[in-house]
Structure 1
Amino acid sequence: MEELLNTTAGDVTQLKYALDTFYFLVCGALVMWMAAGFAMLEAGLVRAKNTTEILTKNVALFAIACIMYFVSGYAIMYGGEYFLSGITGDGFTGAEEPATYAPSADFFFQVVFVATAMSIVSGAVAERMKLWAFLLFAVVMTGFIYPMEGSWTWGGNAVFGMYTLGDLGFSDFAGSGIVHMAGASAALAGVLVLGARKGKYGKNGEINAIPGANLPMATLGTFILWLGWFGFNGGSVLATSDVENSNAVAVVFMNTNAAAAGGVVAAMIVARILFGKADLTMALNGALAGLVAITAEPSTPSALQATIFGALGGVLVVFSIITLDKLKIDDPVGAISVHGVVGLLGLLLVPVTNDGSTFSGQIIGALTIFLWVFVVSLIVWLIIKAVMGIRVSEEEEYEGVDLAECGMEAYPEFASSKN
């Protein structure tokens, strides 16, 4: 009888290990699908002449993120055990008790997060940055900058050996600050060094709208991101093989969806009041703002609270986009507002429903992430600018970076023929 019970317990442990590993992998795949969402959103919100280059950036940055996180990022973020383990294959092949999922599944889930942070940068610097300058920055961002701040938060390490954010009451469930605000901070540094697109701002301070070429594509990208976010937040529960974790996953899915819905409705209402029209781009950014706002803590709010939090994000993002334009900070897709400003909001909302966090801890954590990523990114951007330049020529910008950087157009049938 005792032998039967031991066998049964062992089988249950193996089943839980298999289920949690499989769940982790599926959620990671959903987050990977967000790369397609970013690509479609950004390609829809830039002009036709810049479409091929923005798509190239999104494909390349994902590949770079996967390689650099394997080479150095994971080791920096979670300790040196896996540094360059791909050379020998050690470290990712299996796990000893009492691990609840395969370590390679954890790596896969983490690597798609760092790619998400880098994807945020690509949209903000669109239409005027050199492709290879951007990709060089991606190497540093995914291999060092992001992993370092991740080591102070999810990695649990002390910030420069001084203080542990967790001990100060900092909490970020799935990355409103660690992923989204970090990506936006790097983007802000890049935009400040890069400058605005030609014609965006007039000599007398007027703001000239530069519409995107393909709003159906941008809308598709938003829906893809909305879908992928269930893996982003849901996978951060880390398990689903028992009743408690299964309930937590269901609540996270419910709240993630509720927040996105609240963001859409709120952004549309604000846009209607301010502009007198329904603004699709604000609605799309409202959805993403709602998702970013709930990402810091999707497990403890009620569905109503999640909807309200998302709505707050939807309201804030509209005013943030308008304010950044007035400051002549040119962000073609609104990435800094969606992921940075609303990412901060998400962090500050955590203590409302999570007793384990404090407002002071959230503020210190947010400042730590922002200052580290912004300052180091600014230094890296300035070095790249000095070494190889980061902006295409005025003529190349006028003709479109598709031809200048990639030698092909996304919509060649629209081009005039010289024959």
Structure 2
Amino acid sequence: MEQLAYSEQSIFELSYALNTFYVLSFAILVMWMAAGFTMLEAGLVRSKNTVEILTKNIALYSIASLSYLLIGYQIMYPGSAVTSWFPGFELPSFGDNSAEKAFAEGTQMSTMGGIFFQLVFVATAMSIVSGAVAERMKLWAFLIFCFFMTSFIYPVQGYWKWGMGFLETAGFYDFAGSGVVHLCGAVAAFAGVLLLGPRKGKYGPGKAIKAFPGANIPLATLGTLILWMGWFGFNGGSLLKMSDVESANSVAMILLNTNTAAAAGGIGALVFSKIRYGRADLTMILNGVLGGLVAITADPLSPSPLLALVFGLIAGVFIMISIVTFDHMKIDDPVGAISVHGVGGILGLLVVPLSNAKASLLSQLLGVGVIVLWTFLVSFLVWYLIKKTLGIRINDEYEYEGADQEECGLEAYPEFTKS
């Protein structure tokens, strides 16, 4: 019996180590998405705003890492929640299980590994906001909002689903975060954009819209490919285990479907842009790829690869239509983040019942409604308070000259003329 017990614990410890290594490795891929967002946004803004957008992205990741570690995680995953609506708050504890304790409790991986994996997700949500408010928002106003977003706004709605709150018990299905991460980030961005207003000169009388081409399209393309790669960690890591045949096969299916939806999203945008405008619009194709990725994130495991292809194709077309529609509504989003992550997130959540019997359209609509309502109301309030105190928009002169010199005292391309 002693030899059998030792053998069981040895197998358990090997499984524990494998699961932890798998989650940490995939978390690093998700962290690498910060580079993707940074490159994408830096490529799609004008040269005079490049340094400022780079500063935002490196600073937001740093702030998100600390605020979520010290505050947000304790809200999102409380040891004992007050109610299914209100998680409460406990002081952070980062102690991990000993081998004996983990074996006795059946813990499948390191607690600290789980914290790190969730931490890189919240940084992704905040990165969505960065692109939507680019080229006219004050750096410090953005960073203050970043603190509130990552320590409170995101964790509360995250608790309602992933922390076993009321959305989880209501049957809302969101495997890797089409709603919890992407829709939340897009709605927070939308609230900020409404208060911020469009860039100067973007919209003229009537339906006139002026294009502001990005300064570095190769960089934006590289950023998209980095995000595509990082998304394998985003979706694949969300299974949280890989130590048996079933889970290994599930991870393989998740990665296959993730890649398929992304590719189909790009093709959908490519074909639609050719039909609609008579040309292949690269920026739309990039956003089509990202739209396919966002849409499949709600459930990358249940669909067949062919169904994942259909979902991605639809997302690529919908994202393109959404970007154009927002522009006609004079809602200025320089990188298309609200469309990609908001419309793509809603679409992904609503198609889940087509392949997953665990979800219903009613429960998915409930989840969408709750996330949108909570995130918009609280984000709007925070943005409004910042606007009334510090202010959220740089002045007209600095906007014309570019945010780089005023906010950072540095130019990204000093040898070139400002555009």
Q: Does residue 286 of structure 1 match 2:302?
A: no
Matches within 5 A, 1:43-122: 43-80=42-79, 83-85=90-92, 90-92=94-96, 96=102, 97-122=105-130
Q: Do the aligned residues in 2 keep the contact of 1:27 with 1:235 (CA within 8 Å)? A: yes
Which residue of structure 1 aligns with residue 85 of structure 2? none
Shift of 1:71: 1.4
Shift of 1:414: 1.3
Matches within 5 A, 1:373-412: 373-412=375-414
Q: Does residue 229 of structure 1 match 2:214?
A: no
List alignment gaps of at least 5 residues for structure 2: 81-88
Which residue of structure 2 aligns with residue 160 of structure 1? none
Q: Do the aligned residues in 2 keep the contact of 1:70 with 1:83 (CA within 8 Å)? A: no
Q: CA RMSD in A?
A: 1.3
Q: Do the aligned residues in 2 keep the contact of 1:169 with 1:360 (CA within 8 Å)? A: no
Shift of 1:90: 4.1
Shift of 1:168: 2.5
List alignment gaps of at least 5 residues for structure 1: 158-163
For residues 39 and 373 of structure 1, what CA distance do their matches in structure 2 show?
23
Shift of 1:139: 0.3
Q: Do the aligned residues in 2 keep the contact of 1:35 with 1:116 (CA within 8 Å)? A: yes
Q: Does residue 176 of structure 1 match 2:175?
A: no
CA displacement, residues 107-152 of structure 1 (integer Å, 9 cap, x when unaligned): 0000000000000000000000000000000000000000000010
For residues 80 and 34 of structure 1, what CA distance do their matches in structure 2 show?
29
For residues 253 and 79 of structure 2, what CA distance do their matches in structure 1 show?
35
Q: Does residue 10 of structure 1 match 2:12?
A: no
For residues 130 and 351 of structure 1, what CA distance do their matches in structure 2 show?
42
Query: What is the aligned counterpart of 1:326 among 320, 325, 328?
Result: 328
Q: Do the aligned residues in 1 keep the contact of 2:94 with 2:112 (CA within 8 Å)? A: no
Which residue of structure 2 aligns with residue 127 of structure 1? 135
For residues 398 and 258 of structure 1, what CA distance do their matches in structure 2 show?
42
Shift of 1:203: 1.9
Q: Do the aligned residues in 2 keep the contact of 1:271 with 1:282 (CA within 8 Å)? A: yes
**Paired residue secondary structure (1:19):** helix
Normalising by the residue count of structure 2, what TM-score does the alignment of the two structures yield? Answer: 0.95
| Percent identical | 59
Which residue of structure 1 aligns with residue 415 of structure 2? 413
Question: In structure 2, do the counterparts of structure 1 residues 80 and 68 end up closer, same or farther at CA, with 3 Å as the change threshold?
Answer: farther
Q: Does residue 370 of structure 1 match 2:372?
A: yes
For residues 80 and 140 of structure 1, what CA distance do their matches in structure 2 show?
22
Which residue of structure 2 aligns with residue 306 of structure 1? 308
For residues 76 and 92 of structure 1, what CA distance do their matches in structure 2 show?
19
**Paired residue secondary structure (1:412):** coil
CA displacement, residues 27-51 of structure 1 (integer Å, 9 cap, x when unaligned): 1000000000000000000000000
For residues 230 and 67 of structure 2, what CA distance do their matches in structure 1 show?
23
**Paired residue secondary structure (2:70):** helix
For residues 43 and 80 of structure 1, what CA distance do their matches in structure 2 show?
40
Q: What amino acid maps onto 2:195 in structure 1?
A: V
Which residue of structure 1 aligns with residue 343 of structure 2? 341
**Paired residue secondary structure (2:162):** coil
CA displacement, residues 239-278 of structure 1 (integer Å, 9 cap, x when unaligned): 0000110010000000000000000000011111111100
